[in-house]
A and B are shown apart, each in its own frame.
Chain A
């Protein structure tokens, strides 16, 4: 009985090394070599099959979808670009309305002064914001450099 089995394993091994075994036959081989009693002359093959079985146990333990970084930054960018477009339109509007009639015709001196002050405030703050963007772009450039590596 035992020698019959050993014969069969020998035959399977021969086929195995020619890559002619079926998945079923290979399962037989793994089962044979996973037991404690292996024929002495076949012992040298045992580590191979034991290793393959062991390797299948290894698991991927990290999160499947890692949280995306940089999403909030992207949303921030889109808000900045919307604000820039709005400002551009406002600017264009003022420019065309200024061309059609002089400011002094339509507004009092106080109104013009107030508007100028408001606009200069806007421009100061906008420049502040723009300054931040340069910084962020630099930051993005550098992080990308690291990410690419």
Chain B
């Protein structure tokens, strides 16, 4: 496969890979690096790629695995994270104060969700993939996708309702 051919294949979904990476890694720079790494890996597999019927789903799975590995090694390298539970309560109020408007507030809420819920919400509500596609990308059972999605949406709703009722910004 030629490089130009490869580019036309990945062009339509490169932004989606990046957005998933950013959802997981939070930092824009890290997400850009991760996306480039994943695309490079994909390019190195370009001979095999013609055999995949869904390159996009495959690339999404690669991105997911790459970012989760990255997070794991970061966690292992950073001892501070051991105490995250206890520092978190302290800083969450500050974080909430930082969110200037209710739209960016949703972003803060999503950052607090477990990884799986983050990904499901990202792939369904931002990228609008079908449930079957998501279950393929995340290597989850379709019912598990729905359960995680429902939990994630309800968690966001709960936080939003709290804010709406008490007006904490």
Residues of A at the B interface (CB closer than 8 Å) are 16-20, 23, 26-27, 43-48, 50-52, 54-56, 58-60, 62-66, 149
Instruction: State the total of A-B contacts with C-beta under 8 angstroms.
Output: 82
B15 within 8 A of A: yes
With A47-B103, A58-B18, A60-B18 in contact, is A23–B160 under 8 Å at CB? no
Whether B36 pairs with A56 at a CB distance below 8 angstroms is no
Within the complex, what minimum Cβ distance (angstroms) separates B167 from chain A? Answer: 11
B19 within 8 A of A: yes
Whether A47 pairs with B102 at a CB distance below 8 angstroms is yes
Whether B105 pairs with A47 at a CB distance below 8 angstroms is yes
Residues B36-79 near A (CB distance < 8 A): 36, 39-40, 43, 77
Residues of B at the A interface (CB closer than 8 Å) are 3, 6-7, 10-11, 14-15, 17-19, 22, 32, 35-36, 39-40, 43, 77, 101-107, 122, 124-128, 130, 146-147, 149-150, 153-154, 156-157, 160-161, 163-164
Whether A52 pairs with B125 at a CB distance below 8 angstroms is yes
Whether B14 pairs with A60 at a CB distance below 8 angstroms is yes
Whether B14 pairs with A18 at a CB distance below 8 angstroms is no
Whether A65 pairs with B126 at a CB distance below 8 angstroms is no
Find chain A residues with CB under 8 A from B103 CB: 47, 50-51, 54
Whether A60 pairs with B17 at a CB distance below 8 angstroms is yes
Which B-chain residue is minimally distant from A50 (CB atoms)? B103
Whether A19 pairs with B105 at a CB distance below 8 angstroms is no
Find chain B residues with CB under 8 A from A56 CB: 19, 126-127
Tell me, in angstroms, the Cα distance from A18 to B106 when the chains sit together: 19
Tell me, in angstroms, the Cα distance from A58 to B17 when the chains sit together: 11
Find chain B residues with CB under 8 A from A44 CB: 160-161, 163-164
Q: List, sorted by A's number, 25 A–B pairs whose CB atoms are closer than 8 Å.
A: A17-B153, A17-B157, A19-B150, A44-B160, A44-B163, A46-B102, A47-B103, A47-B106, A48-B156, A48-B157, A51-B103, A52-B125, A52-B126, A54-B103, A55-B19, A55-B122, A56-B19, A56-B126, A60-B18, A62-B32, A62-B35, A63-B36, A64-B11, A64-B14, A65-B6
Contact of B130 among A23, A48, A59 (CB under 8 A): A23
Seed contacts A44-B163, A44-B164, A65-B7; 7 additional CB < 8 Å A-B pairs = A19-B147, A19-B150, A54-B103, A59-B18, A62-B32, A66-B36, A149-B77
Tell me, in angstroms, the Cα distance from A66 to B43 when the chains sit together: 11
Whether A45 pairs with B157 at a CB distance below 8 angstroms is yes
Tell me, in angstroms, the Cα distance from A100 to B104 when the chains sit together: 86
Find chain B residues with CB under 8 A from A60 CB: 14-15, 17-18, 32, 35
Whether B160 pairs with A51 at a CB distance below 8 angstroms is no
Find chain A residues with CB under 8 A from B149 CB: 19
With A18-B150, A51-B107 in contact, is A65–B32 under 8 Å at CB? no
